[in-house]
Amino acid sequence: MKKLIPLFFLGLAAIGMMLILNACQEGDASNDVSPQTGTGGSMARFAITGNTLYIVSRQSLEVYDIKDGGNPAKAATRNLGVGIETIFPYQQNLFVGAMDGMYIYNNSTPDNPVLMSKYTHVMSCDPVVVQGKYAYVTLRAGVNCRPGGSFSSLDVVDITDPTSPSLVNSQVMESPYGLGVSGNKLFVCEGDKGFRVMDISDPTKPIRKHFYQEVPAYDVIVRNKHLIITGKKGLYQYEYDDSDSLDYLSQIPVL
């Protein structure tokens, strides 16, 4: 199973790229490209904003100009050190998850992102999503993520001033992987243990509402009341409503 998990993440990344490309086409049609183009999972290693592609390697942030999609041109490299894991664009900022913290870059000039701050935490695997003034970060304990760590957690970070992020809440979780956010709902994947729905009507204090233990989940894309979840045996699509009930729609199996 452990050998297959990276394939699931790749599958979700592929779905995210399809959503990104669709959004790009919609943007081209309207000539109104938003700061963030498309939707990816919290464990994605690439993101597109407008005509710029961002890719994170284990040690750096790579920036490409994709105005000419057939001939992407490298625009910049930002060396960040080891342990770089994920990237999440939100409005005019990039949130880069690393094993020792979260980097916040301003990308108002897309091909020249500028480091504003770094929120530091204990060594851990840390996907991140952002909504409004808050970033939500899962820290997972384990041999490869938090050596010697005794617990996993969900951190809420105030990014009102992105040059000075601050922790406002932290709560113990079971085994968090990826996560997604939409409106007053925060979705947390807990691997083989299941899929959790949390209420963030108060964005600083996530409240546990439902835990679907029958839905193994590693990462999630949230889009228009639809969820695309990396599951134990493939990619699953669900619809959810205001009562947080999940309605199974389809599966793409991983063979």
Domain-by-domain residue ranges, the chain? 5-253
Which architecture characterizes domain 5-253 according to CATH?
A: 7 Propeller (2.130)
pLDDT tens per residue across span 146-183: 555 568 899 999 999 999 999 999 999 988 999 999 99
pLDDT of residue 5: 42
pLDDT score at 81: 80
Note the pLDDT of residue 121.
Answer: 74
The residue to which tokens 């695309």 are assigned: 228
pLDDT at residue 18 in the model: 41
59: CB partners within 8 A, 6+ apart: 79, 80, 81, 82, 84
Q: Using CB atoms within 10 A of its CB, is residue 242 exposed (0-12), middle (13-18) or buried (19+)?
A: exposed
Q: Tell me the pLDDT band of 125, cut-offs 50, 70 and 90.
A: confident
181: CB partners within 8 A, 6+ apart: 129, 130, 131, 136, 187, 200, 222
Percentage of the residues of the chain whose pLDDT score is greater than 70 = 79
Q: Three-state DSSP class for 216? A: coil
pLDDT of residue 45: 87
Tell me what pLDDT residue 146 has: 56
pLDDT tens for each residue of 196-242: 999 999 999 999 999 999 999 999 999 889 999 998 889 999 999 98
> How far, in Å, CA of 19 to CA of 22, rounded?
5
Average pLDDT, the chain: 82
Tokens found for residue 144 = 């490869």
- Over range 122-142, report the average pLDDT: 85
> In degrees, to the nearest 5, what angle opens at C-alpha 26 toward C-alphas 23 and 31?
120
